[in-house]
Each structure stands twice: as structure tokens, then as C-alpha cells.
Structure 1
Amino acid sequence: MKALVALILLIQLPAHRAAPAAPPPAPLGCDDPESEAAAEFAVNYINGHSHHGYKFALNRIDNIRVVPQGLNNDIMFLELDLLETTCHILNPTPLANCTVRSFTQHAVEGDCDVKLQKLDGKLSVLASKCHSHADSSEDLLQMCPDCPLLASLNNTEVLATVTAALNEHNSNSADPYLQLLEIGRARIQYHPAHSVSVEFAVAATNCSAGEAKDNVEACQLLPEDQSNFGFCTASRLIRPSEDLRVDCQLYGHQPGVTYSQPGQDTSAGLVPSVAQGFTNHNLRLSHNNPVASESASSEFPSSVLSAKPVAKRAVAEAAQHDKVPRPVGFVPPPPPCPGKIRHFSI
């Protein structure tokens, strides 16, 4: 009898075996909707937490890696290429309506690593690390020999142009007296004419132009609950004849929007990096958290390779060694990363 029971149990045993484990999910591609949603969230965070310069737009997702932490809980590492837009960070225009600067305007590129958490479908940024730099002068001049190049923001001609432009506006405007916050960018052209173009952020003070003329030292920026920021563009022709044109726009009070004042004299509208002669505001000033990069995170070994050169090399090697015969008309699927370029490559 015992032998019969044992035989029956043995026959039934395979029916109670555990189901085979589900295969791991396929890695996200850089152009997958989930990746693009995470990148959009990250870019909005970067712009919302930048202290100086301009808003940046996504140009390409270079890499994405998802590390599961449990049920409905993932850590995401993103590597992003960004491009500078024409909207200053104080400009209330939504990023979707901001124009990406063209290559011929001497474009500025941003490179960012962002660490996010996706918990129960909700994204949050845990860390961000960025830097930004202007395209090389050689690349620009090769395509556009007559295009003006970015100039150092503390260049004497740039400072003179900003001062003259602000004085011109304050002398001929019914706006409150405007004070310089920072110089955003500047370009100088020497041929066929010598000219300087500048862009700079401003803020309204508690003085009128007449009051400022009598005692400019008494003019103070409006308090936070009344703040009114703005932006000016100006062009100054130096030779063959003098000419100055300036256009300023105030945005009106924006509740919750503040400007980070550097801990130094702002009479020239310069932040620490600018005083060293840089041509653009570096995102590193606002985003410099090493934990944003997977290779720098203490949670993962440094042997985990997910950097941009590795991703690009892996794609190139796969293409080089793919010798398998394909049917006529076969179109191989795009590599998961890096993703598509949305604007242009620099």
C-alpha cells in the first residue's frame, strides 16, 4: 500500500513543479516612449534647477539603463545631449516654445547624467551632473566663415556695449529703472564691419529713470513678492560708424521665480565662471552631483560600463561583425542606443 501511494505521488510530482521564471525584460531603447518621458522629466528638472544662463532642450538620449529595485520601483540612469535655446532661465515661455539656437549662432551643447527613481509610475530626480560648452570655433568657421564667434562675457567691448545699451534703454523708457543681473552671451564680428551683439538679463528696481539719475545708489531690486525680471538684446556698430540698438522686455511678476545672486559684486553682471573669461554659462555651476552617473554611484560597481563612448563602440562593433546573410530588402532594427538626433550634431 505504501509503495502504491509513493508511486501516485511520484506521478503527480511534475504537475506541481514551479513555473519557469519569466525572462528578464528587454532593455529600454533610447527612443522608446518610456525613455523619452523620463528624458523630458529630467530636462525640465535641469532647467528648473539651473541658476544662470539659458534653458536647454533635448537633442539626443545617449544612453539609458534601468536597475530594478523591487516591485514597481526602478532606478534609471540617463545620459543626455542638450542644446541651448534662446530662452533665458527667467523667461516664462514653456520650453516647447523656445527656439533652439542654430549652429551658425555658435551653438552651446550640454552633457548631462541624471539619476531618477520611478516608483509606482511616478518619476523623481535623485541627482544630476552636467557641463556645457560652446561648439569649436573651427567647426563654425569651416561652415560659415563670416559668422561672428562667441566672445568672453567679460570682454571690454562686451561690457561697454551692455553698459551703453542699458543706459540707452533707461534714458528713453517709461519702465522702472532696470538693473543688470547677468550677461547671457555676446558675439563680436570684425568683418566686413566691426560690431558687438549682446544679450543680458535685467530686473526692475524701485526707482524711476529720473530718480535713478539723481541717486542711482538708492535704487534697489524689488522684493521677492514683487520681483519683475526681464531680458535685453542689443547690437552696437563700432566701425565704420557708431550705432546702437537695444530692445528690452519685462516679463512681469512671476510668483515663486527667483534669481540666484552670486556672493560678489554684480555691478558688471558677472558670475564667478564668467569672471575667468568664459564664453557661456556652464551648467556645472548648477548641476554637479557625481551620484548622477552610474559609474560614480556607490550602489553599483565601477566595472559597470554605460558611458557614451562604450555605447557607441558597442553599436559600431555589432555592425562590423554582423556577417549573417540577410534576405533582400531586410532592414535591421535600429540599435537601442544612442537615440535619434532631434536638431543637429556638434
Structure 2
Amino acid sequence: MKALVAFILLVQLPVHRAVPAAPPPPLGCDDPESEEAAEFAVNYINGHSHHGYKFVLNRIEQVRVLRQGSNNEILLLELDLLETKCHILDPKPLANCSVRTFHEHAVEGDCDVKLQKLNGQFSVLASKCHSNADSAEDIRDLCPDCPILEWQNDTDVLTTVSRALNDYNSKNPNTYLRLLEIGRAVRQYHPVRMVSVEFAVAVTNCTAQQAKDNLEACQLLPEDQSNFGFCTATTVTEPSQDFTAECQLYGHQPGVTYPHPGQDTSAGLVPSDGQGFINHNLRISHNNPVASESSSSEFPSLVSAKSVAKRAAAEVAQHDKVPHQVGFVAPPPPCPGKIRYFRI
């Protein structure tokens, strides 16, 4: 009888079952962890690019976190970047690099990046980037007289580069520069007619006289002595003729290399892989063997920036149609994040 009473009492006791922990709230695009991950990703992209310019974060379009266990997360980021005025060989920190304005014919980068955060440390598992310049029509609509990006193999562009190199080498007989790549070129028609170029250079093992005697013998300095630089030049043809050029050498930077010096460029001809485009594409320049060849399957949860923007606009429109409680303010969608500079 006592056993029966004990059993009945046991059955009547409340049963306490383990309740699974609620999943953490989704990570917003402007949350500190998202911004920390995006900063790491941008530095990685710039560190693995070998042509063109450094890029800076403009907006986090989408972020998703896949939790793998304690102190182990996979983050999938979709980032909008903007081109700066710092060439990738420029030692200047990214924070000190000016972003090209819309009126300077801006170039936008789009990147999907897959990172792991293990014990608080980020690492990039995969990435996929491309970049493109804003359309010339958009620039002309808002600024009809602004300079527009020109093809880098344009005859006037190559002539200006060649003249600038010859000008520097003639004035610095002990240092002979060789062209590495044309970074960008723009053409303007009003109020002046001109072509402006920017290009990367390197010091060779020749003096001006040695180059004149035997140009083929002039090679870039070895890696432990390498010295890269950057030049700008402008040729004006109307209303009067003018030419200006300026070069800056960065000095030796340990560990900094230029992987594709190209064919003979000392005469001002652009390397063969630098022809036929108006801007260096991150798809080309971000050449880490694992990262740049990542397939789209690495990023199954990410949607395009346009899709995100359209969805966000639709949600806002739908939100406006629904009656709201007085004093209630709906929280903003976690993504896309804020625009840091301007929208292209």
C-alpha cells in the first residue's frame, strides 16, 4: 500500500523538462560584430589584390551567421565597396586613403565573403569579388562636364604615359623607371579638352644612359631592393596646350611585390594584360587561388544587393499600410546597413 501511495505521489510531481535555449537574434548589418568582420574582409581583399586600387567599405548588404558550436561561427557577408585613390602598392593605411567621389567617375566593388570566427579570431574561408565603374550616362546626367573614364589602351592615354615616363627619366638620370600598369585614365571635353592618367612604376637596375645603350638589359630591382611608385600626368590640348607630370617613389617595402610586371613597358606601352578596359576588376586582381575561384555555392544564403534593397523597400511600403499603435515605432530591418559614402 505504501508503495502504491508513493507511486501516485511521484506521478503527481511536476515534470521539469530541459527547454532548448532560444536561438540568438539575427545579426544586423550595422552590429559591431558585423562591422568587425567586414573590416577584416576588406583588409583581406586589399591584401590579396595585385592590380588597381585599394577599396573601402561602403555598405554591408547582408550578413548571416551559422553557429558551429561554442566559440565557432561561420559568417557570410555581402559587401559593397568603393575605390580609393590609393594604389595597392601605396603604403598609406587604408584609413588615410581618400575615396573617389561620384563626380570622379567612381568604381564600385561587390564582394561575397565567407569567414570563420573561431575563439574570437577571424579567417577568410572563401571570397568572390568583382567591380565596375558607374555608367558614363549617370555621370553626365548630373555633371555634364565631369571627366569620364577612358579605355586604358587609348592612343592619347598611352602617349601621355610615355611622355610622363620620358620626362621623369630625363630629369633623373640615375634612376630609370619602368611602367608596371596604368591605374586609370579619364578624358574631359569641357571647359578644357584633356586626358589625365595615373600609373604605377618601378625602379630598374639601369641608369638613363644604360637604358639608352641597352634597354633590354634593364630589369626591375630584386625583391629585397624593390622600389615602386606612382605617377600622374595630364595632357591639355584645348584651349591651349599644356603638359604636367609628377611621380612619387615609395621606397623599399619589405614583402611587397608586383606579380605580373608584364612585357617590356619602358617605352610607355601598357602591359598586355592591362589593355581593353577602363577599370581594374577585383575579379581579376583578387587572385588568391582559393578565394577568387570560389563558386557561388559557397554563399547559398546571400542574395543580391538589388534584391535586398527591393525587399526592404517592399517591407517599408507594407509597413506603412498597416495601422500602428500610437507611439509604437517599428524597429528598422537589420539589413542592408548604413551607407558610409554614397550610393552608386
TM-score in terms of structure 2 length: 0.91
What's the counterpart of residue 218 of structure 2?
A: 219
Which runs of 5 or more residues in structure 1 are unaligned? none
Q: Secondary structure at the match of 1:343?
A: coil
Q: 240-249 vs 223-232, which deviates more?
A: 240-249
The one-letter code sitting in structure 1 at the alignment partner of 2:337 is: G
Percent of aligned positions that are identical? 63
The one-letter code sitting in structure 2 at the alignment partner of 1:247 is: E
Q: 1:307 aligns with which of 301, 304, 327?
A: 304
The whole-number CA distance in structure 1 between the counterparts of 2:264 and 2:284 is 18
What's the counterpart of residue 259 of structure 2?
A: 260
Q: Secondary structure at the match of 1:6?
A: helix
What's the counterpart of residue 91 of structure 1?
A: 90
Contact 1:113–1:292 under 8 Å retained in 2? no
Contact 1:115–1:292 under 8 Å retained in 2? no
What's the counterpart of residue 107 of structure 1?
A: 106
What's the counterpart of residue 11 of structure 1?
A: 12
Which runs of 5 or more residues in structure 2 are unaligned? none
How big is each residue's C-alpha offset from its partner over 1:205-248, in whole Å with a ceiling of 9 and x where there is no partner?
Answer: 11222332333222111000110000001111123443221110
How big is each residue's C-alpha offset from its partner over 1:32-62, in whole Å with a ceiling of 9 and x where there is no partner?
Answer: 1110000000000000000100000000001
The whole-number CA distance in structure 1 between the counterparts of 2:336 and 2:138 is 23
Contact 1:182–1:271 under 8 Å retained in 2? no
Change beyond 3 A, Cα 1:263–1:248? closer
The one-letter code sitting in structure 2 at the alignment partner of 1:48 is: G
What's the counterpart of residue 79 of structure 1?
A: 78
The whole-number CA distance in structure 2 between the counterparts of 1:171 and 1:111 is 42
The one-letter code sitting in structure 2 at the alignment partner of 1:108 is: V
The whole-number CA distance in structure 1 between the counterparts of 2:17 and 2:295 is 39
In the alignment, structure 1 residue 316 sits paired with structure 2 residue 317: no
- How is 1:185-334 mapped onto 2 (pairs within 5 angstroms)? 185-261=184-260, 266=265, 268-272=269-273, 274-275=274-275, 277-287=276-286, 289=292, 291=294, 293=296, 296-297=297-298, 304=301, 306-322=303-319, 323-328=321-326, 330-334=328-332
What's the counterpart of residue 340 of structure 1?
A: 338
What's the counterpart of residue 146 of structure 1?
A: 145
The one-letter code sitting in structure 1 at the alignment partner of 2:59 is: R
After TM superposition, give the deviation of residue 328 of structure 1 in Å. Answer: 4.9
After TM superposition, give the deviation of residue 327 of structure 1 in Å. Answer: 4.7
The whole-number CA distance in structure 1 between the counterparts of 2:272 and 2:77 is 29
How big is each residue's C-alpha offset from its partner over 1:53-91, in whole Å with a ceiling of 9 and x where there is no partner?
Answer: 000000000100111122211111111100000000000
After TM superposition, give the deviation of residue 5 of structure 1 in Å. Answer: 2.5
After TM superposition, give the deviation of residue 9 of structure 1 in Å. Answer: 2.5
After TM superposition, give the deviation of residue 263 of structure 1 in Å. Answer: 6.0
After TM superposition, give the deviation of residue 10 of structure 1 in Å. Answer: 2.0
Change beyond 3 A, Cα 1:132–1:156? same
Number of aligned pairs? 336
The whole-number CA distance in structure 1 between the counterparts of 2:84 and 2:142 is 21
CA-based RMSD: 2.0
The one-letter code sitting in structure 1 at the alignment partner of 2:342 is: F
Change beyond 3 A, Cα 1:25–1:197? same
Q: Secondary structure at the match of 1:59?
A: strand
After TM superposition, give the deviation of residue 13 of structure 1 in Å. Answer: 5.0
The one-letter code sitting in structure 1 at the alignment partner of 2:110 is: D
